[in-house]
Amino acid sequence: MGRAVSGNVVPLHPAEGTTSACPLAKCDGTGWVDSDDGAVAPCECRSIVRSRSRAKGLASTIPARYRGVSFDRPPLSDMARQPESRHVVAAVREYADNVEERLDEGASLWLTGAVGTGKTSLAMAVSAAAAQAGRSVAIYSLPRLLARIRRTYDGDAGQDSYLAFFERLTSVDLLHIDDLGAEKRSDWVLEQLYAIVDERYGAERSMVVTTNLEETELEEQIGQRTVSRLVEMCGALGPLGLQGRDNRY
C-alpha cells in the first residue's frame, strides 16, 4: 500500500529514524502530509529526523549546568553589560539568533580567553539554539572527544568503528569542542584534530570551539594547519577574545 505523489508510490511507513509522532505535529508520523489536491508532500519533520539520526551515538545533550543558559540571564546578561565582553556577547548572540542561516553557510565561532570568562556559557548558548532549531549537534570537551575516539580502537561488540564514529562526528550540523588545546601534544592528537577540522572545513560544516590559548599558542599545541583552517572557517569574526575576571568566583 502507498500514496501517490506526482505519479510515484510513496510507502506508508515512517520516514527513516522517525517515531510514531511527528516532532512538529504536522503529519501522522509517516513523514508525509496530505495536500489539498489529494496528493502528499514531504513533511518538514523529515529534515529534523535525518538531522537527529546523524547525531545518534554522539554526545548531543547540553550538560545539566548549562541547560538554562540564556542571553537574558546571568552570566550572559551580565557579560553583555561589561565593556570588556559586550562586543563578543553581541556577536555570539547574532549568530545564535540566526543559527540556521549560519549553519547553512558553514560559519564557525572561536572563543578564546582566560579561565572563567564565560567562553563555555556562550558556546553552549549557540549549541542550545542549534538543537532547538532541530539541527544536529555534537558537544565534547577535547579530552573527552579524544578518549571517545580511542575507545573506537577497542573493537568491542556494539561499539562504533573509528570510521563510523568519524563520519557521524564530521557530518553533524554543529560540532562543539570545548577546551581546544587542553590535551598533551602528540602526533596522534595532531592527526585526529586535523582530520576532524579538515573534513568539516571541506564540507563547509560549522564548529564552535573554546580555548584558553591565544592563536600563536594554539598553533604550537594543535598545529598550524589546523589553526589555519579554523581561522578561515570563522571568517571575518576571527577569534573572539574574552577578557575580565574569573566569573566563577
- Say if residue 109 is in the same domain as residue 219: yes
pLDDT tens per residue across span 66-111: 999 999 999 999 999 999 999 999 999 999 999 999 999 999 999 9
User: 3-state class of 199 per DSSP?
Assistant: helix
Q: Are residues 31 and 108 in the same domain?
A: no
Cell of 25: 505535529
Q: Whole-angstrom Cα distance, residue 117 to residue 74?
A: 13
Per-residue pLDDT tens digits for 21-60: 765 566 776 766 776 666 677 666 555 555 555 555 576 6
Band of the pLDDT at 237, cuts 50, 70, 90?
confident
> Are 45 and 151 part of one and the same domain?
no
Q: Cα separation of 189 and 183, whole Å? A: 8
Specify the number of domains making up the chain. Answer: 2
What angle do the packed helices 86-97 and 119-132 form, to 10 degrees? 10
Q: How far apart are CA 97 and CA 99, in angstroms?
A: 6
Distance, first Cα to last Cα, the chain: 64
- Do residues 44 and 59 share a domain? no
Residues 191 and 149 in one domain: yes
149 vs 166: CA distance, rounded Å: 8
Domain of residue 189 covers 55-242
Backbone angles phi, psi at 9, to 5 degrees: -100, 125
Q: What is the SS3 assignment for 242? A: strand
pTM > 0.85: yes or no: no
pLDDT tens sequence across 177-227: 999 999 999 999 999 999 999 999 999 999 999 999 999 999 999 999 999
* Residue 223 placed within a domain: yes
